[in-house]
Structure 1
Amino acid sequence: MNSNSISNRLINEKSPYLLQHAYNPVNWYPWSEEAFNKANRENKPIFLSVGYSTCHWCHVMEKESFEDNEVAELLNKYFIAIKVDREERPDIDNIYMSVCQAMTGSGGWPMTIIMTSDKKPFFAGTYLPKKTQYGHMGLMELLNKINKLWIEDKNKLVESSNNIVDFLQDQIVHKKGEISEKIVNDAYESLRDSYNPVFGGFSSSPKFPTPHNLNFLLRYYRAKGDKYALQMVENTLNSMYSGGIFDHIGFGFSRYSVDSKWLVPHFEKMLYDNALLAIIYTETYQITHKDRYREIAMKILNYILRDMTSKQGGFYSAEDADSEGVEGKFYVWDKKEIKSVLGEDADFFNEHYNIKSKGNFEGKNIPNLIGEDLEELEDESIKSKLDGLKEKLFSYREKRIHPHKDDKILTSWNGLMIAAMAYAGRVFGIERYKEAASKSISFISHNLVNHKGRLLCRYRDGEAANLGYLDDYAFLVFGLIEMYEATFESFYLRKAIELNDEMVKYFWDEQNGGLFFYGKDSEELILKTKEIYDGAIPSGNSVAAMNIIRLSRITGDKKLEQKAGEIFNTFAEKINEVPLAYVNTISAFLTSKISETHVVIAGDKDHTNTKAMINEINKKFLPFSEIIFNDESKEIYKLIPFIKNNVMVKNKTTAYVCKNNSCLAPTNDLQEFSNLISK
C-alpha cells in the first residue's frame, strides 16, 4: 500500500493482488461489465494489467508506475484501467498471454494489454518502466502514443485488434491426426539432448524444475529400462536440492533459479511447484530406495503443513520473493549474523553450506550444498549436527519480517497438493499426510462448490468465486484418484468419477475434440482456448487424459479410454512437431500404449496380511498399474462391476494380478505376489 489515502474500486475485492493495488492513484476497475460499458460510453481504450500477488516484477511496476501520480493522471484521463489476478481468472490470463506471445514472441508478468471496449487487443507487452530507457519504450511514452493514435486513427487500431483475434482464432482450430508411435523416443531424445550433465535440468538459465519432464523420464525408465533416464532424474533432483532454489533452513522450493547451477532462486514459493516436486522425489525414492529422496519429499510437505495450510484444511497459494521491498531479504544471511546465532558451531555450518565473507548473492549468502558430497552428509553424526544448527537458524529467521503470503485457496493447486500428500502418505506410511489431503478435499467440498454442484475456482476470506476451469477439475480428479489408492475408501473413487463426468460435460469440444479451458456455462471471452502446452505446470488436457486412462482401467469402462485417444488425436499435429513442449501429454500417451496391469486385493483392510500386501505395492514404482481394493461393498461393485468374483480364497487375503491381457492365478503368498508385480 502506498501513501495515497483514497481507495479505488479494488478495495471491495478478495484477491490479495487486487487489494495490493487498492490504494493506487490509478482508478482501477476489476474485470467487470461496468468497466467495459464505461469504456464504450466514453470512447476510451482499455488498459489491462494482469499479474499475481507474489510476482516480483509486478511489485516493481506498481512502485514505479501505478503508485505514480503522473502515470495515474494519464491512465485515468485517457483509458479505463482494469486489474486482473491471473490466478483468480486464469481464463483471461490464458487468452491474453497467447496474444502477448503471438505479438511479442514472449510472455510473463506483469502483462500489459491495451484493447478496445469489446475486449480485442491491439498492444501487448510485459513489464514496462515508467520512462523510456535503454531503447525500451516507457509506459508514459506508450500511453501518450496510444492516446494520439486512438484520437487520430482509431479505425486502424480497431482493424489491428480484429486481425489479431482472427489470427489467434485460426490457431485454436487444430488439425486432427495421430501421434506418431515414435513420439515417446523423440521426447526422450529431446530431453537427453538438452540435458545438462553437470548440474542436471534441461536448460541453461533461467532454470525451472519442470517436474513433469522428470516424471516422464521415470516412466520411460520403467517402460524401456534405460538407466540414463533415471540418471538424468537423479542428477537433476540432487542438484536442485543442493542449490539455493531449495530453502535449506525452512524447506520448500522456490519458483526457479536465475543461473545454471540452481544457486540463486527467484525466491517466491508456489504451491504447485512444491506439490509436483514432492511427487517426483517420492517416485524416485520408490525406484532407488534412497532415504535422501524420502527426506526431501517430507521436508517439502512438512513446510506446506507448517506454513501453507489453513486451519480449515485448504492449502494457500504462494509466498512472495520480497520482504521489506527487497527480493530475497528474508532468506539470505551475513556470515557475521550466522556466527552470532551459532557461536563456535558457525564454522562447521559455513563449511558445508558455502557461507562466505563476501557472500554469493549481492554481498549476502544463500545457504547451499553445491559441490558437497550428499552421501557424506548422510553420515548420522554430521547430519544430526547440521539439523540442529539449521533449527537454530530457523528459529532466528522466524523473527524476521516475513514475505507476503497469498492466502487464497485455489481448487486446482489444492488438487495437486492433495495428490502429493496422498501419494507420499501411502508410500512413506505417514497418516498425517493422508489426513491433510482428506481435509483439503473436505474443505473444497464444503466451500468451493456452488448450489448447482458446480466446482468453483477460488476461496478467500469467506468467499468462493469464479466457476471452475479445466485445471480445477482435472487436477482435483488427479488428487482424488491418488487419495483412493492411498486409502481404498470408495468415496474418493466415486467422487473422481463424478467430477470427471462433469468435466467432460462442461468442457468437452463436441465438434473438434479436446477440452476447452473454460466451461460452456462460463463468461464468454473473445476466444475459446484449449491448453495442451505443458509449461510451468502440466496442461489440463494432459492431466485429464492421464486421469481418463486411469479411471477407465480402474472401472473397466473402455469407452472412457477412447476419450483420451480423442485428446491425443486433437493435438497430434502440435505434439508431433515439438514433443518437448508436450511431455506430460506424451507420458499419458505412453501409459495408454503400455499393456495395463490390474491388481485387486481382497481381504480385511486391517488384517496383517492385507497390510503387508498393500505395503509391498507401496514400496514399488508401478506407474502403469492400477490398484483396487475389494471391500465387498455395494458401492465398490457399483463402481467396479468386474471385481465381483475377486474375493478372498481360503478366507485369507488374496491378490489378483492381470497383465498382458491375461489373468494369473490368485495368490495368498506375499513373496509370490511381490514377484508378480515386480516383473
Structure 2
Amino acid sequence: MSEGQKKNHLESEPSPYLQQHVHNPVNWYPWEDEAFQKAREENRPIFLSIGYSTCHWCHVMAHESFEDEEVAKLMNETFVSIKVDREERPDIDGVYMQVAQMMTRRAGWPLTIIMTPDKEPFFAATYIPKETRFNTMGMMDLCRRIKELWESDQANIRQVIERVKGALSNDEVVYHGVDMSTKDQLDLGAVDSAVKQLEGRFDEKKGGFGTPPKFPSPQNLLLLMRHWKRTKEERSLEMVLKTLVEMRRGGVYDQVGYGFHRYSTDDEWLLPHFEKMLYDQAGLMMAYTEAFQITQNGLFSDTVQEIAEYVLRDMTAPEGAFYSAENADSEGVEGKFYVWSQKQIQDILSQREAAIFGKVYGIERNGNFRDEATGEETGLNIPHMRFDSEDVAKEMSMEPSQVQQILDSAREKLFHAREHRVRPSRDDKILADWNGYMIAALAKAGTVINDSALVEKAEKAIEYVLSELKDKSNHLLHSLKRKNEGIPGFLDDYAFVIWGLIELYEATFKSDYLSEAKVLMDTLFEKFWDSEKGGFFFTAHDSEELLTRRKDIYDGAMPSGNSTALYNMIRLARLLGDPDLEQKAADMVGAFSSEIARMYSAHSMMLVGLDFALGKSYEVVLAGKKGDELLEDMVKEIRRRYIPNKVVLLRASEEQSKEITRLAPYTEFHNPVRGKATAHVCVDHNCRLPTNELSQMLEFLDEK
C-alpha cells in the first residue's frame, strides 16, 4: 500500500518493525487491551505475529502474505491480528517462543501463534507461505482451517490448550498441535527411498551402482552426501567415498593427462569407453569438491584441480568458453592415445621410474587392456592405481615423499611423450547448457579449494555465454551458427546457465550475476513453463512445432533440465526473498510427484532440490566492507564447511549494496552492527539475532 492509503492500528507505535507494517491491508493491532476486547466481543481467535526489523523471513512472510489483499481479507475475517516487536517486548516473545518449541520443536522468527482472546495458544509455527507448499500449510488454507475449527470443533482446540498448559506447568514437551499437515505431497521420505534404491544397486567391491557399463552419475553422489548431512547415516557417505576413490584410482580416470572418460565397460572401473565429455568433468568436479568439504581428503582436492587442469588445457576455447568433447578414437583405434606397452614406458622413463610407476599403476608385460570384443591380450596397458604409493614406499624401503616425487616426474614425462601422438578429434561446439554446468563447477570448486584462478576462468566463460550465446532478442542460444544467430535455447540451456550464475554470485558476490540469473529465470517461465500442469517443457512456446512437446525429469548423463531448474528456483527464492518462486517450485514437485515415486533414484537431482526445500537450510546475509578481516574470515569459514542447503548474500558498504537491496529488498535492514562485519543467519526460516562473533555465526551454522 502507498503512504496515502488506509492505515491500520500500528500508526502510533514507535517501533520501526511495527511501522513497517502500518500500511499492510491486515488490520493489525499492537499488543493492547483493545485487541483482546475486540476478539472477545466478536468471538474470534487471535493471530499473533512476532518478529524484528532485520529478520529476513519476517520480511518474506510480510511481502508474501501480509501485503497481499487476498490473504489480508481472510485474516481480517477470521482473526484479530496482533503484531509484536520481539526486541520491544521480549517478555511476550519469550513466553510464546517456549510454546512454539514445545508444540513444534522449532524456534525462531517470524513466530506465529494462534490463541484465544484469553491468550491461550493452540497453534504455533514459524514462517508460513501464502499457499500450501510441500508439507507446510499456507496462510490461505490455514485461515480457512482455523475458522472451521473455531466454529465447529472447540473441543479439539480446548484439548490442545490443556496439553500446552500442562506442558508449561510440568516443563514437558508437546509434539503436535492441531493437525495442519497436508496430504499426498512428496516429503523427505522420497529422498530416503531413493537412497535405499541406490544402496540396493551399490557395488560393495568397487563402488558405483548397477552392473556394467558403469556410469559416474554424479547427481546420485550429491544426493547421498545431502542424505548423510541430514541423517548422519554413515552408509550414505560410505557409498560416496568408495565410489569416488575407486573411480579416481581406475582406468576410467586418465592417470597421465587427467579428466574422466565417459564410463567403464567393466565393474572394476578399469576399461573405459575413452571418450571425454565436458559434462562429466563438470558433474564429477562438483562431487569431488563436496566430498573434499566433508572429508578434507587431499585426494579429492587434487582430483578437482586435475580435472580443472585438463579442461582448461584441452577443452577451452581462446575466448574462454568450453568445448564439448574429445573422441575415443585416434588413428581409427579406440583408446590408442591413452594406452601404453610396458616397453614404451621403459623407453621414456629411467629404470627406477619405470619400476615404481609400473608397480603403482599396474603396468604388465602382457598388458592389462584386453580387446573388448575378443577378450584377448593386447600387450597394452591402461594406467590405474593398483597399489598405494605409501605401500610401495614401504616395500622398497623409501620415504613416501620420495616415491610421490618419482611418480610425479614419471607422469610428466609420459604426458609430454603422449603429446606427440595423434590426438583424438575434438568436438569444438560450444553449448550453453554444458558451459553453464562447467561454469558452476569451476566457481564452486574455486571457492572451496581456495583457488581464485578457477573462479576467474568461470567468469571469463560466462562473459562469453552472455555476450555471444544470445539472439537479438536477448534470449539464450543453445549454440551459435553465426554471431547472435543459432539454435534457440532449450530448457537445459537456461537451467544450467542459471546454475552457473548462482555459483558465480556466491563465489564473487558480484550482483550482476544474481541479476542476470533472475532475468533468465523470468525468461524461462515466460517461454517454457506449463501454466496448466506445472513444470517446464524442453522447448519454448514459440519453438518449432514437433510431434510432441516433452518434459524431461529423469536424470541421464546430466541432471534433467526440470531438476536443475527446481534446484535453481529454490536457491534463487531464498537469495532474493521470492516466495512466489518457491511456490512454483512446490507446484513443480507436485506436478511430477507420481512420476518421481515410480523410481525415486532416477530423479536424484530433483530430490537434491527437494532436500533443500524441506531439509535443514540456511540463509546468510553478511554485512560489512569488502576486504574487512572479520568479513573475510566469515566467508572463508562458510565456504570451508559442507553446508549444501544454504545461500549467502553479501551486503557490502552502502554504495555497493544498492543493487543487492534492489534484487533482495529484505536485505535493506541487514546492516553492520556496531560498525563491525555482521552475520545475519536464518535457519529453517527462523532468523537468529545478528552477530559480530565468528564463533556465534558458526554455532548457528552447526545447529543440529
For Structure 1 versus Structure 2, the TM-score category normalised by the shorter chain is: 0.7 to 0.9
Say which of 674, 677, 680 aligns to 1:653. 677
Match in the other structure for 1:120: none
Contact residue 471 and residue 486 of structure 2 kept, 8 A? no
Say which of 447, 451, 472 aligns to 2:472. 451
Is 586-595 or 241-250 further displaced after alignment? 586-595
Alpha-carbon distance between aligned partners in 1 of 2:484 and 2:340, rounded to the nearest angstrom: 39
Match in the other structure for 1:17: none
Deviations 1:351-389 (A, max 9, x none): 000000110113210000145478888943322221111
Q: Counterpart amino acid of 2:588? A: I
For 1:657-672, list aligned pairs within 5 A: 657-672=681-696
Match in the other structure for 1:32: none
Q: Counterpart amino acid of 2:449? A: F
Query: Are residues 272 and 375 of structure 1, via their aligned partners in 2, closer, same or farther at CA, if it must alter by over 3 Å?
Result: farther
Alpha-carbon distance between aligned partners in 2 of 1:232 and 1:189, rounded to the nearest angstrom: 12
Alpha-carbon distance between aligned partners in 1 of 2:509 and 2:207, rounded to the nearest angstrom: 37
Alpha-carbon distance between aligned partners in 1 of 2:283 and 2:188, rounded to the nearest angstrom: 27
Give the SS at the match of 1:628: strand
Is 481-490 or 451-460 further displaced after alignment? 451-460
Q: What is the Cα deviation at residue 180 of structure 1?
A: 5.3
Deviations 1:548-567 (A, max 9, x none): 00111111111110111111
Say which of 244, 257, 262 aligns to 1:250. 257
Alpha-carbon distance between aligned partners in 2 of 1:421 and 1:375, rounded to the nearest angstrom: 33
Deviations 1:385-426 (A, max 9, x none): 211110000000000000000011000000000001100111
Give the SS at the match of 2:186: coil
Contact residue 480 and residue 487 of structure 2 kept, 8 A? no
Deviations 1:80-129 (A, max 9, x none): xxxxxxxxxxxxxxxxxxxxxxxxxxxxxxxxxxxxxxxxxxxxxxxxxx
Is 1:278 aligned with 2:302?
Answer: no
Contact residue 179 and residue 575 of structure 1 kept, 8 A? no
Is 1:349 aligned with 2:349?
Answer: no
Give the SS at the match of 2:499: helix
Q: Counterpart amino acid of 1:221? A: W
Alpha-carbon distance between aligned partners in 2 of 1:181 and 1:612, rounded to the nearest angstrom: 33
Match in the other structure for 2:297: 290
Match in the other structure for 1:97: none
Query: Are residues 376 and 487 of structure 1, via their aligned partners in 2, closer, same or farther at CA, if it must alter by over 3 Å?
Result: farther
Contact residue 408 and residue 460 of structure 1 kept, 8 A? no
Contact residue 335 and residue 357 of structure 1 kept, 8 A? yes
Q: What is the Cα deviation at residue 472 of structure 1?
A: 0.1
Say which of 578, 581, 600 aligns to 1:579. 600
Contact residue 264 and residue 271 of structure 2 kept, 8 A? yes
Match in the other structure for 1:301: 308
Match in the other structure for 2:422: 401
Deviations 1:581-611 (A, max 9, x none): 1111111112111243111111111122211
Q: What is the Cα deviation at residue 612 of structure 1?
A: 0.9
Match in the other structure for 2:547: 526
Match in the other structure for 1:366: 382
Contact residue 622 and residue 650 of structure 2 kept, 8 A? yes
Task: Give me the identity figure in percent.
Answer: 42
Q: Counterpart amino acid of 1:325? A: G
For 1:47-66, list aligned pairs within 5 A: none
Alpha-carbon distance between aligned partners in 1 of 2:243 and 2:400, rounded to the nearest angstrom: 22
Q: What is the Cα deviation at residue 678 of structure 1?
A: 2.1
Contact residue 361 and residue 387 of structure 2 kept, 8 A? no
Is 477-486 or 428-437 further displaced after alignment? 428-437
Q: Counterpart amino acid of 1:366? A: I
Decide which structure has the larger Cα Rg and report it: 2
Say which of 228, 233, 241 aligns to 2:235. 228
Q: What is the root-mean-square deviation of aligned Cα atoms in Å?
A: 1.7
Give the SS at the match of 1:598: strand
Is 1:488 aligned with 2:500?
Answer: no
For structure 1, the 5+ residue unaligned runs are 1-175
For structure 2, the 5+ residue unaligned runs are 1-182, 371-377, 394-398
Contact residue 494 and residue 520 of structure 2 kept, 8 A? yes
Contact residue 177 and residue 570 of structure 1 kept, 8 A? no
Contact residue 553 and residue 596 of structure 1 kept, 8 A? no
Alpha-carbon distance between aligned partners in 1 of 2:575 and 2:187, rounded to the nearest angstrom: 26
Alpha-carbon distance between aligned partners in 2 of 1:499 and 1:537, rounded to the nearest angstrom: 20
Q: What is the Cα deviation at residue 461 of structure 1?
A: 7.6
Alpha-carbon distance between aligned partners in 2 of 1:595 and 1:249, rounded to the nearest angstrom: 41
Match in the other structure for 1:628: 649
Is 314-323 or 589-598 further displaced after alignment? 589-598
Query: Are residues 323 and 463 of structure 1, via their aligned partners in 2, closer, same or farther at CA, if it must alter by over 3 Å?
Result: farther
Give the SS at the match of 2:501: helix
Deviations 1:444-481 (A, max 9, x none): 11111111111001136867510000000000000100
Q: TM-score when scaled to structure 1?
A: 0.72
Is 375-384 or 401-410 further displaced after alignment? 375-384
Give the SS at the match of 1:409: coil
Deviations 1:282-320 (A, max 9, x none): 000001111111000110011101111111011000000
Contact residue 478 and residue 493 of structure 2 kept, 8 A? yes
Is 1:594 aligned with 2:615?
Answer: yes
Contact residue 177 and residue 571 of structure 1 kept, 8 A? no
Alpha-carbon distance between aligned partners in 2 of 1:618 and 1:533, rounded to the nearest angstrom: 30
Query: Are residues 180 and 630 of structure 1, via their aligned partners in 2, closer, same or farther at CA, if it must alter by over 3 Å?
Result: closer
For 1:176-325, list aligned pairs within 5 A: 178-179=185-186, 181-325=188-332
What is the count of residue pairs matched by the alignment? 504
Match in the other structure for 1:327: 334
Deviations 1:204-253 (A, max 9, x none): 20000000000000000111111111111000000000100000000000
Alpha-carbon distance between aligned partners in 2 of 1:462 and 1:404, rounded to the nearest angstrom: 25
